[in-house]
């Protein structure tokens, strides 16, 4: 038995990565400091830090004041720590219309029953021939192009929701994770680029065959009573859309298609095949689509600061340490404090920034520079980080890696019979995850993951790598996602979902502070190592990364 134990110990010594030298002032990251900050930032006074509220603005100001006290470089506009951007909301007007003329017969559809305009649609009235364009995705680099050999100039395209192979873990479209190419706004911009004047979306009846309550869907898109939380998009995105865009019911789509090329279900099945085009012109049919959507601009801002590197050349490259500062606000007396989501990542980012500031005072600087980013409006669709990659404060090609912290304060817990928040996740107890943290995005860059594993050798957390190709869609649910979509290696440190996620029970007294201290020290160590090492991490080809479960 003793000889077996010696053999196992020897094997472990060989396999485990060697610990890197400790980053300067890593020991300054202390749980008691983060606890004090978190009880403040996730306290009732900030009322859940909802986008476009005074409390959200105060949270951003608090972070900026801490950056200022640390003496970090102002990376925002006009010599500030703020990176402003604009959000857009929308209201629907009365003049929405869809008409079809076929063989001299005119049909008129009813808004809210047969169709409804989409929130990103331009206000427009267009008339043109109809084209069925499969999923409306043009991605020849992934072996799929619904517009191959298809002329759509001056026409209105009808496309399916979602993407081909959405239930296939080996799909080149990010496996079972919903790809960016499947987003309706992205599809509208592709159609517009191809010359279409309008776009209509219909449910993918092949992968979603259940009966559709279309009127309920329309009421959800344009509720009569204003919702507690507005729907936001980026103004930069919606202002690019110049064509009319609407959702149609399955019954309406069948009417638009008529008798050509078979049933909608058959067309949807055919559209799944990447090498076979299902697109065609719907001859003898002309449609008129009028959309009446009013856009409203809402100002927002990220908080950004820098710590300058020491190497004359490498200091022009950046390692980003990020978090998001917003949460879901309050509903009367019920406050969604968002202690774990994402007060934990925010105070962790501040501790790392302070560790760098203290190291700088002692003459220790890494070769590359460090950018600290507190993104806003993550809960509204990663809008702060998308705004950053749209108009980055440093060039994207000079960002070496992004280390994103979002929910690093609890122990993953998936209950029996969990609701839709836990879709695709196996049942597990908090006790089984006491020392665990998920690396989400690990499969996108093996070299970045290896750097993190080496940094962890002296810390000893259990690094879980199981969420990149999962129907929970976690890969695209935090601020590392926009960077992965724009060619930047990025990983999300995430201790997992739990029953208090997105409820008023996500409070600071429930956080595992000793574990959070270890995670934040790991992120600090990994950021220092990335800033010191000669080589940059590399992104893997998507066809390779999607094979990882």
Distance CA 436, CA 58 (A): 33
Sign for the pseudo-dihedral over CA of 159, 161, 165, 171: positive
Q: What is the pLDDT of residue 546?
A: 58
Does residue 465 share a domain with residue 536? Answer: yes
Task: Let me know: does 437 contact 464? Beta carbons within 8 Å.
Answer: yes
Q: What is the pLDDT of residue 5?
A: 37
Number of H helices and E strands in the chain, helices first, is: 14, 22
Burial (Cβ within 10 Å: 0-12, 13-18, ≥19) of residue 105: exposed
Taking alpha carbons only, the member of 78, 122, 57, 77 closest to residue 391 is 77
Distance CA 521, CA 348 (A): 9
Task: With both helix axes pointing from N to C terminus, report the angle between 345-361 and 513-532 in degrees, rounded to the nearest 10.
Answer: 50
Residue 26 lies inside a defined structural domain of this protein: yes
Residue 9 lies inside a defined structural domain of this protein: no
CA distances from 398 to 64, 456, 470, 479, 536 (A): 24, 25, 30, 18, 10
List the domain range (segments joined by +) for residue 135. Answer: 94-291
Tell me the whole-structure pTM to 2 decimals: 0.95
Residue 2 lies inside a defined structural domain of this protein: no
201: left (phi over 0), alpha (psi -120 to 50) or beta: beta
Placement of tokens 């030298």 in the chain? 21
Does residue 280 share a domain with residue 153? Answer: yes
Q: What is the pLDDT of residue 263?
A: 86
Burial (Cβ within 10 Å: 0-12, 13-18, ≥19) of residue 509: exposed
Q: Would you state the structure tokens that stand for residue 455, as one six-digit string?
A: 């940094």
Does residue 171 share a domain with residue 259? Answer: yes
Residue 4 lies inside a defined structural domain of this protein: no
Distance CA 440, CA 407 (A): 12
Does residue 251 share a domain with residue 118? Answer: yes
Does residue 282 share a domain with residue 186? Answer: yes
Residue 265 lies inside a defined structural domain of this protein: yes
Distance CA 479, CA 490 (A): 9
CA distances from 139 to 142, 146, 184, 381 (A): 5, 8, 15, 23
Which segments in the chain show pLDDT lower than 50? 1-15, 548-549
Instruction: Supply the CATH number for residue 271's domain.
Output: 3.50.30.30
Q: Would you state the structure tokens that stand for residue 90, as one six-digit string?
A: 């929308």
Q: What is the pLDDT of residue 262?
A: 65
Taking alpha carbons only, the member of 113, 86, 84 closest to residue 97 is 113
405: left (phi over 0), alpha (psi -120 to 50) or beta: beta
DSSP string across 305-364: EEE--SSTTGGGSEEEEEEE--B--EETTEE---IIIIIIHHHHHHHHHHHHHHHHHTT-
Residue 10 lies inside a defined structural domain of this protein: no
Does residue 421 share a domain with residue 361? Answer: yes
pLDDT in tens, 384-405: 999 999 999 999 999 999 999 9
Task: Let me know: does 544 contact 442? Beta carbons within 8 Å.
Answer: no
Does residue 438 share a domain with residue 347? Answer: yes
Does residue 325 share a domain with residue 431? Answer: yes
Among 260, 291, 322, where does a domain finish?
291
Sheet holding 156-160, edge to edge: 105-109, 97-102, 280-291, 124-132, 156-160, 198-202, 244-248, 115-117
Residue 425 lies inside a defined structural domain of this protein: yes
Q: What is the pLDDT of residue 274?
A: 72
Task: Let me know: does 465 contact 442? Beta carbons within 8 Å.
Answer: yes
Q: What is the pLDDT of residue 261?
A: 58
Phi, psi of 135 (to 5 degrees): -85, -5
Placement of tokens 């009322």 in the chain? 47
Residues in Cβ contact with 159 at an 8 Å cutoff, skipping those fewer than 6 apart:
132, 133, 134, 135, 136, 146, 187, 191, 199, 200, 201, 202
* 3-state secondary structure (DSSP) of residue 158: strand
Distance CA 18, CA 79 (A): 41
Does residue 104 share a domain with residue 82? Answer: no
Distance CA 159, CA 516 (A): 45
Residue 198 lies inside a defined structural domain of this protein: yes
DSSP string across 206-263: TT--S---HHHHHHHHS-SSPPSS---EEHHHHTT--SEEEEE-HHHHHHHHTTTTS-
Among 291, 310, 333, where does a domain finish?
291
Does residue 488 share a domain with residue 401? Answer: yes
Instruction: Supply the CATH number for residue 457's domain.
Output: 3.40.630.10
Per DSSP bridges, beta strands 318-324 and 82-92 are unpaired
Q: What is the pLDDT of residue 2?
A: 37
Q: What is the pLDDT of residue 523?
A: 99
Task: Let me know: does 309 contact 366? Beta carbons within 8 Å.
Answer: yes
Task: With both helix axes pointing from N to C terminus, report the angle between 31-41 and 345-361 in degrees, rounded to the nearest 10.
Answer: 130
Among 291, 314, 345, where does a domain finish?
291
Task: Let me know: does 370 contact 401? Beta carbons within 8 Å.
Answer: no
Does residue 109 share a domain with residue 31? Answer: no
Does residue 481 share a domain with residue 332? Answer: yes
Q: What distance lies between CA 493 and its chain's CA centroid?
A: 14
Structurally, the chain folds into a number of domains equal to: 2
Burial (Cβ within 10 Å: 0-12, 13-18, ≥19) of residue 319: buried
What proportions of the chain, in percent to the nearest 5, are helix, strand and coil?
A: 35, 25, 40
């Amino acid at each position: 038995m003793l000889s077996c134990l010696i053999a196992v110990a020897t094997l472990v010594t060989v396999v485990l990565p060697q610990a890197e030298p400790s980053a300067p002032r890593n020991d300054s990251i202390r749980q008691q400091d983060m606890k004090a900050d978190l009880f403040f930032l996730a306290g009732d006074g900030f009322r859940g830090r909802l986008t476009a509220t005074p409390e959200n603005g105060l949270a951003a100001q608090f972070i900026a004041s801490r950056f200022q006290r640390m003496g970090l470089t102002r990376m925002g506009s006009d010599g500030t720590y703020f990176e402003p951007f604009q959000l857009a909301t929308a209201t629907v007007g009365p003049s929405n219309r869809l008409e079809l003329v076929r063989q001299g017969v005119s049909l008129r559809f009813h808004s809210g029953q047969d169709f409804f305009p989409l929130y990103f649609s331009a206000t427009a009235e267009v008339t043109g021939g109809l084209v069925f364009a499969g999923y409306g995705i043009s991605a020849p680099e992934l072996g799929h192009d619904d517009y191959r050999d298809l002329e759509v100039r001056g026409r209105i395209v009808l496309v399916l929701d979602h993407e081909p192979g959405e239930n296939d873990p080996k799909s080149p479209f990010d496996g079972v994770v919903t790809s960016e190419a499947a987003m309706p706004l992205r599809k509208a911009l592709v159609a517009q680029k191809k010359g279409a004047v309008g776009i209509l979306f219909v449910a993918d009846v092949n992968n979603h065959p259940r009966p559709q309550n279309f009127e309920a869907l329309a009421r959800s898109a344009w509720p009569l009573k204003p919702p507690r939380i507005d729907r936001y998009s980026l103004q930069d995105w919606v202002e690019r859309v110049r064509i009319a865009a609407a959702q149609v019911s399955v019954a309406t789509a069948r009417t638009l298609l008529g008798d050509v090329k078979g049933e909608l279900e058959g067309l949807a099945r055919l559209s799944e095949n990447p090498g076979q085009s299902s697109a065609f012109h719907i001859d003898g049919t002309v449609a008129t689509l009028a959309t009446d959507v009013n856009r409203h601009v809402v100002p927002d801002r990220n908080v950004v600061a820098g710590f300058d590197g020491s190497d004359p050349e490498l200091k022009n490259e950046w390692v980003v340490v990020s978090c998001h500062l917003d949460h879901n606000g309050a509903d009367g007396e019920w406050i969604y404090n968002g202690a774990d989501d994402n007060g934990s990542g925010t105070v962790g980012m501040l501790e790392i920034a302070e560790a760098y500031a203290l190291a700088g005072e002692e003459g220790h600087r890494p070769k590359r520079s460090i950018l600290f980013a507190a993104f806003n409006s993550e809960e509204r669709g990663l809008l702060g980080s998308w705004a950053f990659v749209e108009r980055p404060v440093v060039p994207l090609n000079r960002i070496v890696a992004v280390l994103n912290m979002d929910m690093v304060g609890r122990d993953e817990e998936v209950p029996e019979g969990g609701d839709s928040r836990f879709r695709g996740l196996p049942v597990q107890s908090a006790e089984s995850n006491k020392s665990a943290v998920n690396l989400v995005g690990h499969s996108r860059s093996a070299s970045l993951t290896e750097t993190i594993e080496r940094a962890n050798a002296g810390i000893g957390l259990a690094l879980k790598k199981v969420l990149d190709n999962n129907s929970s869609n976690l890969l695209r649910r935090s601020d590392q996602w926009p960077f992965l979509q724009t060619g930047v290696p990025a990983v999300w440190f995430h201790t997992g979902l739990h029953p208090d996620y997105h409820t008023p029970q996500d409070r600071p007294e429930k956080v595992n502070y000793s574990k959070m201290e270890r995670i934040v020290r790991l992120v600090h160590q990994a950021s220092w190592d990335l800033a010191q090492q000669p080589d940059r991490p590399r992104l893997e080809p998507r066809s390779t990364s999607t094979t990882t479960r």
